[in-house]
Amino acid sequence: MDLTSAKTVKNILEENNLSPKKSLGQNFLIDKEALEKVVKAADLSKKDIVVEVGSGLGSLTNLLSTSAKKVIAIEKDSKIITVAKQHLKRKNITFVNEDILKFNIPEKKYKVVANVPYYITSPIIRKFLEEKYPPSLLVLTVQKEVAERITAKPPFMSLLAVSVQFFALPKVVSHISPCSFFPQPSVASSILQIIPYNRKKGLGKDFNKNFFTLVKVGFSHPRKQLGNNLKALNIKVSSNQIKSAGIDPKQRAETLSVEEWVLLAENLFYK
């Protein structure tokens, strides 16, 4: 069954009285070259366990199963799973009918590879990066604009960029045109590779909580000077404390790197 053909995918859906659900962000990736780029970016071996989010009819699932030890395909649409199982009978594929945001990852060592529903891109990334056992690698197709925001550098940082880059190193692997999907989305997409790393060593107790409290307050009014925004913190902040972190209180939040936010948090909460 050729799941890289728009005609085939359309016929399968019609034969089963199904249609892509906008409410679930169902835009099936059908471009063979794009699918191969996604799998290549995941650098899979026969030892890898892969968690896939939003498997749809299984075009990516099928390709992942040929390269990995096991694929856990999480799909919220039970009817789509029923159809996918008819065409994908590999023993190393396990379908799970579940909302990914409520799903407890059963593995300690795994990778995430997915054509994610775009409307929950940020919550999905946050879920995996904040897991007790985060994946060793994430490879996701996301909106191009979102990929660019996530990988931004100063002076174009955002709360999203800091939130991802605090936990991981994100990189755009390639871009994907709307015609690579069925149905076609209205925006271009990107393949985003995210490599998590450990920031726990050397940081104070409850550092993550304090760090994100600081960053959220810092970005609360992006066009205002950082010193003014930080007056809203529940601790007293002086200009000297900000300066001692090597930061000008007159800077805006978007001009700070993740490392500067880390230094600022250490100065404000742990000194």
- pLDDT in the model for residue 2: 82
User: Rounded mean pLDDT of 19-35?
Assistant: 93
Cis? peptide before 106, omega within 30° of 0 = no
For the chain, percent of residues with pLDDT exceeding 90: 86
User: Rounded mean pLDDT of 165-177?
Assistant: 97
Residue in the block written with tokens 């909580």: 209
Task: With a cut of 80, say whether residue 223 has pLDDT above it.
Answer: yes
- pLDDT in the model for residue 268: 94
User: Rounded mean pLDDT of 17-21?
Assistant: 92
How far apart, in Å, are the Cα atoms of 54 and each of 27, 116, 258? 10, 6, 31
- pLDDT in the model for residue 92: 97
Question: Is 3.40.50.150 the CATH number for 6-196?
Answer: yes
List, for residues 76-118, the tens digit of each pLDDT value.
999 999 999 998 989 999 999 999 999 999 999 999 999 998 9
Q: How confident is the model at residue 202 (pLDDT cuts 50, 70, 90)?
A: low
- pLDDT in the model for residue 87: 86
Q: How confident is the model at residue 270 (pLDDT cuts 50, 70, 90)?
A: confident
Q: How many CA atoms lie within 13 A of 256 on its CB side?
A: 32
Taking the C-alpha atoms of residue 139 and residue 179, their distance in angstroms, rounded to an integer, is: 20
- pLDDT in the model for residue 201: 54
Start-end of CATH 1.10.8.100 domains in the chain: 207-269
Helices 32-42 + 59-67 axis angle, to 10: 40
Fold of 207-269: Helicase, Ruva Protein; domain 3 (1.10.8)
Query: Does pTM surpass 0.75?
Result: yes
Could you tell me where the beta strands, DSSP code E, fall in the chain? 28-29, 49-53, 70-75, 93-97, 111-115, 137-143, 168-176, 181-182, 189-196
Taking the C-alpha atoms of residue 107 and residue 132, their distance in angstroms, rounded to an integer, is: 11
Task: With a cut of 70, say whether residue 156 has pLDDT above it.
Answer: yes
Start-end of CATH 3.40.50.150 domains in the chain: 6-196
List, for residues 48-86, the tens digit of each pLDDT value.
999 999 999 999 999 999 999 999 999 999 999 999 999
- pLDDT in the model for residue 200: 59
Q: How confident is the model at residue 204 (pLDDT cuts 50, 70, 90)?
A: low
List, for residues 183-197, the tens digit of each pLDDT value.
999 999 999 999 998
Task: Assess contact for 32 and 54: CB atoms under 8 A.
Answer: no
Could you tell me where the beta strands, DSSP code E, fall in 55-123? 70-75, 93-97, 111-115
Of 13, 5, 21, 33, residue with least CA distance to 173: 33
Q: How many helices (H) and strands (E) does the chain have?
A: 11, 9
Task: With a cut of 80, say whether residue 262 has pLDDT above it.
Answer: yes
- pLDDT in the model for residue 198: 72
What is the number of residues in the chain?
271
- pLDDT in the model for residue 199: 61
Mean pLDDT, the chain, whole residue set: 94
